[in-house]
Structure formats: C-alpha cells, structure tokens
Amino acid sequence: MDKDLYELLGVKKTANESEIRKAFLKLAKKYHPDVNPNDKVAEQKFKEVNLAYEVLKDSKKRQQYDQMRALGANPFARGAGGAGPNWGGGPGMGGPDFADLGLGDLFEEIFSSGGFGGRTSGRRRGGAGPFGGGFPQRGADREAQLTVSFLESAQGGEKAIELGDGKKLSVKIPEGIESGAKIKLSGQGDKGLSGGTKGDLILIIDVLPHPYFVREKNDIILKLPVTFSEVVLGHEIEVPTLTGRVHLKIPKGISSGQRLKLAGKGIRSAKSGSRGDQYVEIQIKIPKNVPPSYIEAAEQMKTDPYNPRANLF
C-alpha cells in the first residue's frame, strides 16, 4: 500500500483527533462489507481505512509514522515484487530500518492483524483481516440528553439513569455544569467488532430553568419583589440562596432595578474553585388594587420637589 495515511482518510496532516475520527467513520460506513457484500474493491478500501485510523488515532503511532514520512520513507511501501511492507529498509523504503526508529513492533502489530497479505521478513503472524477476526474495531459512541434541575447543575451530585437495555447507572454531575456540556461514560456505547472495545456514551446536559434563580456565568441573579414601605423605610428581609435562606438589609431609598450583592453565594468555578456571587435585583411592587393608605400617602407626596426624570432627557 503506497498511499499516504492522511490521504486515505482525506484529512490534512494537521487534522485533530476529532477530524480524523469523523473522516474514518464516514469512510468506514461507505466501504463497510455490510453495505458492499462481495465487493473486493470496497473490502480493500475498508481495510486501508481501518489501517489509517489505527495509526493516526494513536498519538504515539502517529508521531512515529510522521517521523518516517519526514525522512522520505513510506512505511507501508511494498517491497521487491510488491510483496508487502519492507521491514528491513530495502526496496521501496528509501530510508532507514524501521527498528532504527522503534517502529518494527508498530507495523508488525498492524500488518499481523490487518490481512494485507504479502511478506514481512518472516515476522508476520497469522491473521485473517477485518472480515476474519482481524482489525479490532471500536464500537461507535452514542449520544443522549440528560436533563438536570437548576440546583443539580449548580450544586453537583449523583443522578441515577437507566440505559435503553435496562442497565442502571449512577452519573456524577460536576458542580457548576452548564447546558450543552458533555459527560462521557466510557465503555457504555455500542459493542466493538472483532474484539474491539465498546464505544462511549456521551451525555449532553440540559439544565431546566429555575422559578426565580437565573445564572450569569458563575453568578446568580434573583429578582426580589419588595413593598413600597420596605424601600422607603429600609427593612431586613429573608432571601433564598443556593445554600439556604439569609437575611438581607434593604437600604432606604433603593430604586427598582438596583442590585445588592451577596458575596460568595453564586456557583463554584470548576477551574478556580472560587464561588461567584448572588445579586439581588430590587423590584418594587404595589398591589394591583391600590389600597386607600397608598393613595393617601401619594397625595401627601404630590408637593415633594423630587423629580426622578430631571436629568434624564
């Protein structure tokens, strides 16, 4: 096989792990034997795609492969007579021996299980290829949505889930997780083929809204309804937080829309470990059916010179 592994997958040499995997899955689906029964060309393509992925998905193998290519050698070039990879640096190599870079075991492993045929300087072990117990293929990952409450996302904890096959698991919810974040459950995806490992289950978090808390990064916003008298006279009232109720002093003369800060009462940052703050936004409310006492007080204030719009327009 003379093709470059990156070309086989149709990716750039700078491709990251996600791009490599995406390209592999697309090609593996296209050339899979179940889709192309008795198609020898597709079968060979499927083997080549598997080989490329086996090398490029592994950072160590990929680095070794890149080293060989940088030296002008094709690690998979066929030896004399097109008989397979040349392990000793002979015809088709154009570079140093595999053993010089510690690559012998890598390609021994790949070709012994890959079913590419040909010789490997007597080092190849028996193997029937992907269709006879050859290349182990990792099972596909699965995605599922996991809905959590606002408090579960803010405080973290354990949440029981049940998989489609009836299996029950306990999932750890990290403190401060947000909607759209992902939790990986290793080995809970689809089964692998030919002895390959199982894929993973990726849980995509969906946080339910809270009746009165709103999250802004790691801060919590609480819109607090207060009465006219509480802001005129000043008053100490109870307000809820993530960790329980606390007393908050309402300053005299505070206006609707102003915020009071409760330091350290927000959400803990997963990176720094420090907590955000809780901001209490004042919302002055009066009864829909205005009582006579309110009307009387308003009548008395008519002559007050205060004009909140004096410098606004």
- The CATH number linked to 172 is 2.60.260.20
Same domain, 169 and 217: no
Same domain, 22 and 65: yes
Residue 180 belongs to domain spanning: 142-207
DSSP 307: -
| Three-state SS at 145 | strand
Q: Would you say residue 159 lies in a domain?
A: yes
Predicted model pTM: 0.54
Q: Would you say residue 252 lies in a domain?
A: yes
Neighbours of 93 (CB within 10 A): 21
| Residue found under tokens 């592999």 | 24
Q: What is the pLDDT of residue 2?
A: 65
**Over its length of 313 residues, how does the chain's per-residue pLDDT go in tens digits?**
567 899 989 999 999 988 998 898 888 888 887 778 888 888 888 888 888 888 898 888 888 888 887 776 666 654 433 333 333 333 333 333 434 434 444 444 444 433 333 333 333 333 334 334 456 888 889 999 999 999 999 999 999 998 877 889 999 999 999 999 999 999 998 888 888 899 999 999 999 999 999 999 999 999 999 998 899 899 999 999 999 999 999 999 999 999 999 999 999 987 788 999 999 999 999 998 998 988 888 888 888 888 888 887 7
The residues with which 245 forms a beta bridge, in sequence order, are 240
CA distance 210 to 23: 40
Q: Are strands 219-227 and 235-241 parallel, antiparallel or unpaired?
A: unpaired
Q: Would you say residue 243 lies in a domain?
A: yes
| The two three-digit tokens of residue 70, written as one number | 């940088």
Q: How many domains does the chain have?
A: 3
CA distance 153 to 267: 9
Same domain, 22 and 77: yes
Report the chain's terminal Cα–Cα distance, integer Å.
78
Q: Would you say residue 258 lies in a domain?
A: yes
Same domain, 173 and 99: no
Q: What is the pLDDT of residue 30?
A: 87
